[in-house]
Structure 1
Amino acid sequence: MAARSTAPEKRPGFFSQIRSLYTFTHEAYRWLPFLLAGILLAGIAAGVGIGFLVPPVAVWSVILWGVTGLMAGVLGSLMTMTRLSTLAMYRKLDGMPGAAGHIMSTALGRHWQGSDMPVGINPKTQEAVYRAIGRGGVVIVGEGSRGRLTRLINDERSKAQRVASGVPVTVLYVGHGDDDVPISKLAPTIKALPKKIDRTTMAAVIKRVDSVSQSLASLPIPKGIDPSRVRAPRPR
C-alpha cells in the first residue's frame, strides 16, 4: 500500500491568480482587455508628461517618470479588475439558491457571525431564511418569495426575540423589489447597521440562539451554489 502523502497542497502562484482573475472577469466583461490597455497607456502618458514638466528635463528623468507611470497603470489595472471581478461575482450569484448564505458566511467581516446554512427552509419551494449575529444585533435574511417566507421569518424572529430580549432584530429580504436588498448590497447593508451591543453580549446571544436552534439534518436542503465556481479569485 502506498504511503499517504503528507506534503501540503501547493497553492497557486501570484501570476496564476492574476490569470484566473482575468479569465473570470473577462467572461462577464468582454471589453476588459481594452479597458486595461487604456489604463496602462494613460499611466505611461501621465508619467512621461510629468517627466517633461518637472525640471530639469532630461532623458533619464522622462524614462524614470514613464516607468513610474507604468507601475501606476499596472496598479490601477489590478484595482479595476478586482472591482469588476466582484461585480461579476454578484451577477452570477444573483437569483441562485444559497447566494445569501454565501455572502453572509464570507463577506460580513469580524464584527458579524453568519453561516451559509439556512436556519429555516421550505423544502418544496427552496425559500430559505439565514441568520447573522453581530454588533448590530440579530439579522434575519429571507431568500425567495415574501409570501412563502412569512412563516419562516416569523418563527425565526420570535425565537431570536425570546432568547435575546432587548437585542434589535432586523429582517431583510434579498431581491429586486421596492423594499428588497440586492445581493450585491446585502453585506454593506448589514455592516452599516448601528452598533447596539458589545462583544460580550454578542457572544452570549450567539450561544443562546445556537442552543435553541433546531437541527436541519432531517430536512432536505436544496443544493446551493458552489463558491469555487462563483467567487472571484483575488491576487495576493
Structure 2
Amino acid sequence: MARDTKKKDKKKKTGTVAQIRQIFAFTYNDDKALPWYLAAAFLLPVLVALVGCLIFKVGWLSWTLTMLLGVMLGVLLATITLTRRSDRVGYRQMDGRPGAAGAILANISKAGFSFSQDPIWIDPKTKDAIWRGCGRTGVYLVGEGDYGRVMRAMGREEDKVKRITQGSAIPIYKVSVGHGDKQVPLEKLQKAILRKKAKLTAEELNQLKARLNTLQLRQSSLNMPKGMDPTKVHVSRRALRGK
C-alpha cells in the first residue's frame, strides 16, 4: 500500500512539472520576455526577505524561516505570473477563430452555468454562430461574428426562449463577442457572464435547464461547417476552469 501511494505521488508530481513545462513552452513561443518576468516575480519577495533579515539582524532560526517564506512567495508569484501571461497568449491566439467563444463558454461552471459546446445557430457561409446557456442569473445568448447579423439571429432565438419562459421574470441576456463598440472582447467574456447577480433558485434553474433542453431537442440538428470545431480551439487551463 505504501509503495502504491509513493508511486501515485511521484506520478502526480511528474505530471504537474510536465504541465508547467508545457505551459511555459506554449507561452514562451509567443512571449519571449517571459523568463525575465518570471525571474523578477520570484526574486522580488526573496530580496525583500533578505533585506528584512539584514536590517533587523534576526537570529539564524528567524533568518531561515524568513528566507523560506520569501522563496515560497517567490514561487507563488512566479506561478501567478506564468498563468496570467499564458492566458493572454491563449486568448490572443484564439481571438477571431471560429468557435473560440464556445470553447470558453463550455467550461464555465460557476453559479450553475451550463452552455452547450455546439452552437444552437450557425451561418454556414460566414460561420457566425450563437451559443445558448443559462445559470442562476438567467438565460444567455452569446453571438460570435458580424454584429448586425448575429444580433438579428439572437433576436429570433430570444423569441424562442421567451415562449418557454412565458409568465416568468427570467432575464435573457444577449452578448456579442468582438471588438466593436457594443461588443465584448473574448478575454472579457467570462467576466461579462459571471458579473450578473443571481436571480433564480436552484430548483428554478433546474426547471429552466429542462425547458431549454426540450427546446434544443425540438430544433433541427445543425450541420457543423468544416473547421468549426470548438473542441480544437486551444485555451489555457485557468480559462477552462472558468476563473
What is the aligned partner in structure 2 of residue 3 from structure 1? none
What is the aligned partner in structure 1 of residue 8 from structure 2? none
Q: Distance in 2 between matches of 1:193 and 1:65?
A: 42
What is the aligned partner in structure 1 of residue 191 from structure 2? 188
Runs of 5+ consecutive residues of structure 1 not aligned to the other structure: 1-9
What is the aligned partner in structure 2 of residue 131 from structure 1? 132
Q: Distance in 1 between matches of 2:44 and 2:151?
A: 53
- Percent identity, aligned pairs only, is 31
Superposition deviation, residue 222 in structure 1: 4.3
Listed one character per residue, the Cα deviations across residues 199-227 of structure 1 (whole Å, up to 9, x for unaligned) are 11111111112212245545243423565
Once the two structures are superposed, the pairs formed by residues 80-229 of structure 1 within 5 Å of their partners are 80-165=81-166, 166=168, 167-213=170-216, 214-215=218-219, 217=221, 219-224=223-228, 227=231
Superposition deviation, residue 233 in structure 1: 4.4
Q: TM-score, normalising length from structure 2?
A: 0.83
Superposition deviation, residue 39 in structure 1: 2.0
Q: TM-score, normalising length from structure 1?
A: 0.85
Q: Is the 8 A contact 1:126 1:222 kept in 2?
A: no
Among 226, 229, 236, the residue aligned to 1:232 = 236
Superposition deviation, residue 110 in structure 1: 4.4
Superposition deviation, residue 176 in structure 1: 0.6
State the one-letter code of the partner of 2:171: P
Q: Distance in 1 between matches of 2:151 and 2:71?
A: 55
Pair 197,229 (structure 1): closer, same or farther in 2 beyond 3 Å: closer
What is the aligned partner in structure 2 of residue 7 from structure 1? none
Q: Distance in 2 between matches of 1:216 and 1:31?
A: 49
How many residues align? The count is 224
Q: Is the 8 A contact 1:121 1:152 kept in 2?
A: no
Once the two structures are superposed, the pairs formed by residues 54-69 of structure 1 within 5 Å of their partners are 54-55=56-57, 57-59=58-60, 61-69=62-70
Superposition deviation, residue 96 in structure 1: 0.8
Superposition deviation, residue 107 in structure 1: 2.8
Q: Is the 8 A contact 1:17 1:233 kept in 2?
A: no
Structure 2 residue matching 1:194: 3-state secondary structure: coil
What is the aligned partner in structure 1 of residue 7 from structure 2? none
What is the aligned partner in structure 2 of residue 53 from structure 1? 55
Q: Distance in 2 between matches of 1:40 and 1:150?
A: 46
Q: Is the 8 A contact 2:108 2:114 kept in 1?
A: no
Runs of 5+ consecutive residues of structure 2 not aligned to the other structure: 1-10, 239-243
Q: Is the 8 A contact 2:94 2:233 kept in 1?
A: no
What is the aligned partner in structure 1 of residue 37 from structure 2? 35
State the one-letter code of the partner of 1:19: R
Q: Distance in 1 between matches of 2:223 and 2:229?
A: 18
Structure 1 residue matching 2:119: 3-state secondary structure: coil
Superposition deviation, residue 127 in structure 1: 0.6
Q: Distance in 2 between matches of 1:225 and 1:176?
A: 22
Aligned alpha-carbon RMSD (Å): 2.2
